[in-house]
Amino acid sequence: MEIFTVFSSDNVLITHLIDHFLKDERIYFSSKDDDTIYLESSDSARFYVHFENDFDQEMKVNFDPEEEKMTRIFFKNKEVFMLDISYNDSAFLYELLSGFCKERDLNSIENGAPVLFHDPFQGFVIINGIGSTLKSNE
């Protein structure tokens, strides 16, 4: 399974994303432990939503220094909350995230709740016009 990360300076938005996963009728709750919710679909898609993350530690362990720097700049050094989503079906994950963006009517500038999406293969990505590719100026 791969890990997709959602970053936001709004912890409530992260909570709404978790709720979005839990309410989607195409996936069902399998189990939960202290920091992860396990979800599955009838088509064998699996999502493990890891919601207790230490931003500083995760950045040091799972992201390169340039990605960490660009993330901090994007959020203007505000507190950053993150959600790691382990998945085995990337198309389904993008569909869920796209639905979330539409449902919440996200606009990272107007709503004042910046969101970044990080794909393990593509780096920072934009979903439904939300997010940034965060390219280095160097």
CATH number of the domain residue 19 falls in: 3.30.310
The answer to the question of residue 138 being in a domain is: no
The answer to the question of residue 75 being in a domain is: yes
Nearest-Å Rg of the Cα atoms of the chain is 14
Tens digit of each residue's pLDDT (9 = 90 or more) over 66-119: 999 999 988 888 899 999 999 999 999 999 999 888 887 765 444 555 789 999
Tens digit of each residue's pLDDT (9 = 90 or more) over 52-66: 888 999 999 899 999
The pLDDT confidence band at residue 131, using thresholds 50, 70 and 90, is confident
Rounded distance between C-alpha atoms, residue 23 and residue 52, angstroms: 20
**Domains identified in the chain, total number:** 1
The answer to the question of residue 53 being in a domain is: yes
The answer to the question of residue 39 being in a domain is: yes
The answer to the question of residue 57 being in a domain is: yes
The answer to the question of residue 136 being in a domain is: no
pLDDT at 30 over 80: yes
Q: What pLDDT, on the 0 to 100 scale, is given for residue 138?
A: 45
How far from 22 is each of 29, 62, 92, 102, CA to CA, in Å?
7, 26, 14, 17
The answer to the question of residue 137 being in a domain is: no
Averaged pLDDT score across all residues of the chain = 87
Q: What pLDDT, on the 0 to 100 scale, is given for residue 51?
A: 86
Q: What pLDDT, on the 0 to 100 scale, is given for residue 129?
A: 76
Q: Which domain holds residue 94?
A: 2-131
